[in-house]
Amino acid sequence: MAMERRATAALSVFAAVAGMLLHAAVAADAQNLVFGYYNQTCRAAESIVFDEVQKAWNADRSMPASLLRLHFHDCFVNGCDGSVLLEASDGQAEKNASPNLSLRGFEVVDRIKARLEATCRQTVSCADILAYAARDSVRVMTGGYEYAVPGGRPDGTVSRASMTGDLPPPRQRNVDLLAQYFARKGLSMDDMVVLSGAHTLGVAKCGTFAYRLTSDGDKCMSAAFRNDLRRQCNYKSDAVVALDAGSPYGFDTSYYGNVLANCTVLESDAALNSPKTLQLVTQLRDSKALFINRFATAMVRMGNLRGGNPGKVRDNCRRVRT
Ligand code: HEM
Ligand SMILES: *[C@@H]1O[C@H](CO)[C@@H](O)[C@H](O)[C@H]1NC(C)=O
Ligand SMILES: *[C@@H]1O[C@H](CO)[C@@H](O)[C@H](O)[C@H]1NC(C)=O
Ligand SMILES: CC(=O)N[C@H]1CO[C@H](CO)[C@@H](O)[C@@H]1O
């Protein structure tokens, strides 16, 4: 017990120091984006994106979750620059790295891009498509809640698997260490709590969290919930379970109830059941309006992350245009 406490204390000192260094060295840069960026150059841009997201949702109720996650992975790795969509001839692009396991939605982006190219050639960046599509995913899932998303993100030219270390790891229960990944992007611990609410949608592969099912030592997972996950996974690492078991297709606040009840699939979600985040988690659980408003604000902030290698607007989101 005493040893455990010492270990924890040592860990948080490390976290604080590492955090200061990281923040000083690589705090991410925001960019000046503009609302209605395509008013003059591609009037239909945002409505085309919405139309395709709605079609994708009609065909597959799980697609909005995947589109939301694509924008997150795009922004956290070298800024929101569409780099998550690129392919590399050596098979070592961001999308090939292990944290992106199960990224989906690339075909939806291709369809959006094809329509935009037909309407206004080489004008709407793939990075902006991801930002609008994430917003529209919330819109379809909530039955109409919309927030304004500024545009003007350049498409990036670099996408390397080796850069995905900026993505927060799911096997982490220390909320301070997790928050460092957000701090490096200029985002706060509150932003992390709010954005993690995206896990009200979507699924995780059993292989991602199976280590939490093997022993009863994980006190942050309720026993009944663990048994349920064991049954669903049934030793298949490719099986998937809902991140928000109660309402996988509802963009609601039950994720935060899960956090408080120790019924989260990922250890990084369990981490939010900590004294530092408890107040906000409880407030968000208790108010859907608060959640949705804060989520929209935090998404816009995340969507402002500047890419490091701006290039030309692509005509195919999978390839740099030279
Ligand atoms: C502490 C931060 C986060 C961690 C550690 C994390 C980790 C993960 C992991 C491990 C999965 C499941 C992957 C798999 O097993 O297949 C997942 C799924 C997902 N994540 Fe996160 N995530 C974080 C934050 C976010 C944020 C900020 C967003 C968006 C705003 C987001 C959106 C999603 C969505 C929607 C899914 C489900 C995807 C689908 O069903 O296709 N996550 N996340
Ligand atoms: C585009 O139009 C909207 C609504 O008419 C307006 O709010 C926005 O400021 C305009 N943006 C630009 C860049 O023209
Ligand atoms: C959740 O887990 C924590 C330990 O991580 C424990 O202190 C708490 O009592 C648990 N809460 C519930 C509702 O089971
Ligand atoms: C969508 C995609 O390309 N996913 C890749 C993620 O990374 C693994 C390797 O770790 C690839 O096998 C997947 O194809």
Report the chain's mean pLDDT, rounded to a whole number: 91
In this prediction, residue 98 has a pLDDT band, given cuts at 50, 70 and 90, of confident
In angstroms, what is the C-alpha Rg of the chain?
A: 20
Q: Closest ligand 2 atom, CA of 34? A: 13
Q: Which ligand is nearest to the CA of 295?
A: 1
Residue 242: give the domain boundaries.
175-295
Tell me: the pLDDT tens digits for 144-201?
899 999 999 999 999 999 999 999 999 999 999 999 999 999 999 999 999 999 999 9
Q: Identify whether residues 163 and 180 lie together within a single domain.
A: no
Among 273, 274, 285, residue to substitute to test ligand 3 (most atoms within 8 Å of Cβ): 273
| CATH code of 109's domain | 1.10.520.10
Question: Among 287, 280, 229, which Cα is nearest to 254's?
Answer: 287
Determine which residue's CA is closest to atom 11 belonging to ligand 2.
Answer: 36
Tell me: the pLDDT tens digits for 8-37?
333 333 334 343 434 434 567 888 899 999
Report yes or no on 135 lying in a domain: yes
Tell me: the pLDDT tens digits for 235-254?
999 999 999 988 999 999 99
- Cα-based distances in Å from 70 to 15, 121, 246: 28, 23, 23
Tokens of 192: 């992390």
Tell me: the pLDDT tens digits for 57-70?
999 999 999 999 99
Structural domain tally of the chain? 2
- Cα-based distances in Å from 250 to 2, 139, 179, 220, 228: 43, 12, 26, 24, 20
What single DSSP character describes residue 33? -
Q: Identify whether residues 23 and 148 lie together within a single domain.
A: yes
Q: Identify whether residues 119 and 217 lie together within a single domain.
A: no
Ligand 1 binding site (Cβ under 6 Å of any ligand atom)? 62, 65-66, 68-69, 72, 101-102, 104, 168-170, 178, 195-196, 198-199, 201-205, 208, 243, 266, 268
Calpha distance 285→293 (Å, rounded):
13
Report yes or no on 79 lying in a domain: yes
73 is catalytic: yes
